[in-house]
Amino acid sequence: MGHWFRSALNKILARSDAILNRLLTLHPKIIDLSLERMERILARLGNPQEQLPPVIHVAGTNGKGSTVAYIKSFLEQAGLKVHCYTSPHLVKFHERIYVAGETIAEEKLSALLEECEAANGDAPITFFEITTAAAFLAFSRTPADYLILEVGLGGRLDATNVVTKPALSVITTVDYDHQQYLGNTLTAIAHEKAGILKSGVSAIIGIQPDESRAEIERVAEKIGAPVFIANQDWQSFEQHGRLVFQDENGLLDLSLPHLKGRHQVDNAGNAIAAIRLLDDRRVSEAHIEQGLRSVFWPARMQKLGPGTLTSLVPKDAELWLDGGHNPAAGRVIARAFSDINDRFSRPLVLIWGMLNTKDAGSFIEPFAGLAQRVVTIAIPDEPNAIPADQLAEIARGRNLSAETATSLTKALGQALLTTPAPRILICGSLYLAGYVLGLHENKPMSGVSGAARR
């Protein structure tokens, strides 16, 4: 019976995989930022983006996913029904589309994808655009109190930016990433992110580099979007082992977030500020407190529990996972592990893989003097993965001791040669993180290429 069930499940799962792979062929580019194709297919589908619950639209370079997770946690602790759209997925594509408290079911996903495929015909459309259209269909057909909508890339020309009147906009920290699409300066990148701002729609602006903040404020003033800015209109900080949040409405004394790292105080602050600005009386301070304690967001400073990989690691060692992949992420992850080491010292060993579209040197540089060793791997099944030997040279060029491994399990074995028992961090890419979670939890991966997981 068990074998029959697994076999049947695999056949069902193959249906969405087959559709998703067909959708990859509809445009010669993975990314082609524009709203025209999106507007066309949505019109053919009856404009589901106009039939959504109140939308909280979230853009930014770092902290988007965690901020989304906090907002979702706060709202659900209040008993509200929440839709959520995020990308990329880690293990299964279904993770992207969260409908009224549940990850979308396989049968429903396949039907929606086929409906969008039929509506589009042979017209050019990117993978992210047509799958976002499917998500809008799902959200429009199921009642909910809110939709938390995460931008895929940029903001101004992102497929999610067809929502013309969100309830609230949020822009988390803007830093360098995806320069090939968004521009090579923080001003250019921030301009694209600020494209989600709408006239008359209030926006929460997280902690920003000066250049990013100046551009966001310039765009907001030009279009008439009221902004509420971190460390100006509200503050979030750690004090005596507590999270303190303060705005013009008063002070909250809360538990620290369940998610690890000093940067999570900033991300939680974005979410608390958003909830306070929404002013939904159904969401109380107690719900925020409970949400901070219960929030979960995989592959963000995640200490792996029981599973395939931890079974290979002695009990006195630690195994961590983080999918951060740009220079700012490298800085906050390194700072977080420095803080952990101050409380409980043990050797830090990195297992590191990255894509060739990322600035590997700037990511790894903050770990110099912190990581005892770096073991490099090529991300499995990723044509754009940086070869392990090239990564090792990059690490050595940043004054880190580095060696290569031919697989994740061999990298673990090499890391465990460190004494005393090390703290091992697998890092550098969300695609590597997805592979790790699939292996660790013995779950099959969605059969779409890594490039399509943006």
H or E element, residue 84: strand 82-85
pLDDT band at 449 (very low <50, low <70, confident <90, very high): low
Count CB-CB contacts under 10 A for residue 9: 12
pLDDT band at 294 (very low <50, low <70, confident <90, very high): very high
Question: Is pLDDT at 10 greater than 70 in this prediction?
Answer: no
Q: Identify the sign of the CA torsion 138, 140, 142, 145.
A: positive
> What gap in Å lies between CA 323 and CA 132, rounded to an integer?
22
Average pLDDT rounded to a whole number, residues 30-44: 93
Mean pLDDT taken over the chain = 94
* DSSP annotation of 249: T
> Token pair of 185, please?
């300066």
> What gap in Å lies between CA 22 and CA 248, rounded to an integer?
51
Give the angle subtended at the CA of 142 by the CAs of 137 and 146, to the nearest 5°. 95
> What gap in Å lies between CA 267 and CA 22, rounded to an integer?
37
Q: Say if residue 88 is preceded by a cis peptide, omega within 30 of 0.
A: yes
Question: Is pLDDT at 433 greater than 80 in this prediction?
Answer: yes
pLDDT band at 450 (very low <50, low <70, confident <90, very high): low
Question: Among 413, 395, 392, which residue's Cα sits nearest to residue 404?
Answer: 392
> What gap in Å lies between CA 348 and CA 249, rounded to an integer?
42
Question: Among 424, 445, 434, which residue's Cα sits nearest to residue 303?
Answer: 424
The pLDDT score that the predictor gives to residue 6 is 41
Q: What are the pLDDT digits (tens) for 310-327? A: 999 999 999 999 999 999
Strand, coil or helix: what is 97? Answer: strand
The pLDDT score that the predictor gives to residue 223 is 98
Q: What are the pLDDT digits (tens) for 94-127? A: 999 999 999 999 999 999 999 999 999 999 999 9
Average pLDDT rounded to a whole number, residues 416-440: 96
Q: What are the pLDDT digits (tens) for 227-277? A: 999 999 999 999 999 999 999 999 999 999 999 999 999 999 999 999 999
What is the distance of C-alpha 36 from the center of its chain? 26
> What gap in Å lies between CA 310 and CA 345, rounded to an integer?
20
Average pLDDT rounded to a whole number, residues 126-155: 97
pLDDT band at 445 (very low <50, low <70, confident <90, very high): confident
> What gap in Å lies between CA 159 and CA 125, rounded to an integer?
11
> What gap in Å lies between CA 139 and CA 89, rounded to an integer?
18
The pLDDT score that the predictor gives to residue 243 is 98
What's the predicted TM-score (pTM) here? 0.93
DSSP 89-131: -SS-GGGGEEETTEEPPHHHHHHHHHHHHHHHTTS---HHHHH
Phi, psi of 370 (to 5 degrees): -110, -50
Q: Note the CATH architecture for domain 12-294.
A: 3-Layer(aba) Sandwich (3.40)
pLDDT band at 9 (very low <50, low <70, confident <90, very high): very low
H or E element, residue 75: helix 64-77
Question: Is pLDDT at 7 greater than 90 in this prediction?
Answer: no
Average pLDDT rounded to a whole number, residues 438-444: 94
The pLDDT score that the predictor gives to residue 1 is 35
> What gap in Å lies between CA 181 and CA 178, rounded to an integer?
6
Q: Provide the percentage of residues in the chain whose pLDDT is more than 90.
A: 90
Question: Among 128, 138, 153, 141, which residue's Cα sits nearest to residue 29?
Answer: 128
Average pLDDT rounded to a whole number, residues 396-416: 97
Which fold does the domain 302-453 belong to in CATH?
A: Protein-Tyrosine Phosphatase; Chain A (3.90.190)
C-alpha distances (whole Å) from 379 to each of 49, 414, 434 are 36, 17, 10
Strand, coil or helix: what is 171? Answer: strand
Fold equal for 12-294 and 302-453:
no
Question: Is pLDDT at 451 greater than 70 in this prediction?
Answer: no
Average pLDDT rounded to a whole number, residues 400-410: 97
Give the domain ranges of the chain.
12-294, 302-453
pLDDT band at 187 (very low <50, low <70, confident <90, very high): very high
